[in-house]
Amino acid sequence: MSKQRKTSLLFVALPLLLFILIMITTRDFSVEDKMAEEEKPTMTQLEEILERGYIRAITDYNSTNYFIYRGKPMGYQLELLQHFAAHLGVDLELQISNDLENSIDLLANQQTSDLVAKNITVTGVRREMVEFAQPHSRTRQVLVQRKPDHWYTMRSHDIEGMLIRSQLDLSGKTIHVHRHSAHAARLQHLMDEIGDSIHIVKRDEGTETLIEEVARGEIDYTVSEDHIARMHEVYYANIDARTPVSFEQHMAWAVRKGEEELVAAVNDWLSDFKDSPMFADIYDKYYNNPRSVFIAKSDLHSLGGGNISVFDDYFKRYADIIGWDWRLIASLSYQESRFNPSAVSWAGAFGIMQLMPATASFLNVSSESGVHDQIAAGVRYLRWLDERLHDEIEDDDERIKFILASYNAGIGHVLDARRLAEKHGKDPDVWRDNVDYYLLNKSDPKYYRDPVVRHGYARGSEPYHYVTEILERFRHYKNML
């Protein structure tokens, strides 16, 4: 073969070989990448929670599980969740939904929550949708009915004869229940058991509202969990809740199907916690406390009166001075004085906003000034701090944290912490895990003797927790009001 022909064949073969090599290489990488992607482990829900640093829980807003009283977030489920979050070493982010179906959808389908923390009765149907942790308590469903007129003048035996005590006597009765509760399903089963019809009216109103309607004579019957009904019997003496319509049922938290690690974490914590005196105290506080329903009817309960404090109108009026949400100012005031206008601190701070005498003089108020003047002065001081930090910290949400810390510790110590953060390679315009660390540690000579520090020693743990607690309480206020 001639040299020229060999060269010609080489020119034809080389591109073809190169094309084949590229295709093989590309195919190999594509297959390898796909295999690597398939083999890449996905995080469990528990691992995600620990990595992000907070757990997202759904609970319901009522007089026992989650509410605000005299400015303080309270509730059976809230306290259990706080202890569980602390056990995991993470923060708690609460979501509110009184619709159980919606809660399960948020958990199972939309996957925007980690667990549903409610008094969910464990049923076979629900087990197909979610994983249940071990029960945190148990209850039974009872009929709530009204005692006869003038019952207080009658003998107990005569009253008993006028009340429904047998489930068979529910035939033909009309019973109102919350649309998304387990009560409607239980009544459906009961109809099969007694072989007769019960007229079930499904309502959007919650069980507690329906109990009130029974007491007022607006409806004749509803169904409730036993522990809720017993509380309302104390408040409404004319109702009776001693007729069961179900056997005892477990109540538990729910997580997404397949999240065994998270269920195990809840169970490990709950097994120990349920045996502790603390759990007994929490349960008794909300379910064995005869004052519970009276508290729920108070004007200072988020359900009963919808107020945080008796000073809400002042917080709303003067919030415009700085342009903040009035509930944030209320949260600050609660932190300072628990809404006590007579409060005086060891350092001489006074009144509902705990103004120091020098600051109060600068703002033209004193301990003799009225509450409304003190609140206005406190908000003017917040605005003064805002004006001094506005050009330094552009982000409004971040600047609020610096203002709150300055209100507590003084702006000088906060500026020192910003300089320390910048010196150590942190962001002086970001509070969490940046400036807050240096303010927290400003009681350490390593930091307060640093040349960039101009205001010396500070007990930094107080403003550090001060900011966190005010903003957390503010989130609770926004959830419910």
Distance CA 368, CA 351 (A): 9
Distance CA 209, CA 54 (A): 33
State the pLDDT at residue 124. 85
Distance CA 10, CA 389 (A): 74
- Active site residue ranges: 336
Task: Write down the residue that tokens 């629900």 correspond to.
Answer: 126
DSSP 161: T
**Span 30-57, average pLDDT:** 77
pLDDT over 70 at 283, yes or no: yes
**Span 377-389, average pLDDT:** 97
Q: Nearest-5° angle of CA 63, CA 66, CA 68?
A: 80
pLDDT over 70 at 16, yes or no: no
**Span 277-301, average pLDDT:** 83
Structural domains of the chain in order of their starting residue, each with its CATH number: 47-135+253-295 (3.40.190.10), 141-247 (3.40.190.10), 312-480 (1.10.530.10)
In this structure, the strands spanning 199-203 and 130-132 are unpaired
DSSP 320: G
Distance CA 447, CA 442 (A): 6
What is the number of other CB atoms lying within 10 angstroms of the CB of residue 367? Answer: 15
Q: Say what percent of the chain tops pLDDT 70.
A: 91
Closest alpha carbon to 114 in 52, 46, 53:
46
Provide the token pair at 289. 């406390």
pLDDT over 90 at 223, yes or no: yes
pLDDT over 50 at 29, yes or no: no
What three-state secondary structure class fits 274? coil
Distance CA 180, CA 61 (A): 14
For residue 31, the one-letter residue type is V
Task: Assign 235 a pLDDT band (cuts: 50, 70, 90).
Answer: confident
pLDDT over 80 at 414, yes or no: yes
What three-state secondary structure class fits 41? coil
State the pLDDT at residue 300. 79
Read off the pLDDT of residues 325-352 as tens digits, 9 standing for 90 and up.
Answer: 999 999 999 999 999 999 999 889 999 9
Burial (CB < 10 A; 0-12, 13-18, 19+), residue 320, is exposed
Provide the token pair at 216. 């007022």
Strands (E), 61-195: 67-69, 72-74, 91-96, 115-121, 130-132, 137-139, 141-146, 174-178
Task: Assign 149 a pLDDT band (cuts: 50, 70, 90).
Answer: very high
Q: Say what percent of the chain tops pLDDT 90.
A: 73
Task: Write down the residue that tokens 């007022």 correspond to.
Answer: 216
Distance CA 235, CA 238 (A): 9
What three-state secondary structure class fits 25? helix
* pLDDT, averaged across the chain: 90
Backbone φ and ψ for 148, nearest 5 degrees, come out as: -65, 155
CB 211 within 8 A of CB 229: yes
| Angle, helix 371-389 to helix 411-423, in steps of 10 degrees | 30
Provide the token pair at 162. 């006028």
For residue 416, the one-letter residue type is D
Closest alpha carbon to 191 in 247, 133, 139, 245:
245
State the pLDDT at residue 35. 52
Whole-model pTM: value is 0.81
First to last CA, the chain: 94
Distance CA 339, CA 328 (A): 14
**Span 217-245, average pLDDT:** 93
Distance CA 64, CA 293 (A): 9
CB 81 within 8 A of CB 230: no
Read off the pLDDT of residues 420-461 as tens digits, 9 standing for 90 and up.
Answer: 999 999 999 999 999 999 999 999 999 999 999 999 999 999
Provide the token pair at 11. 């020119």
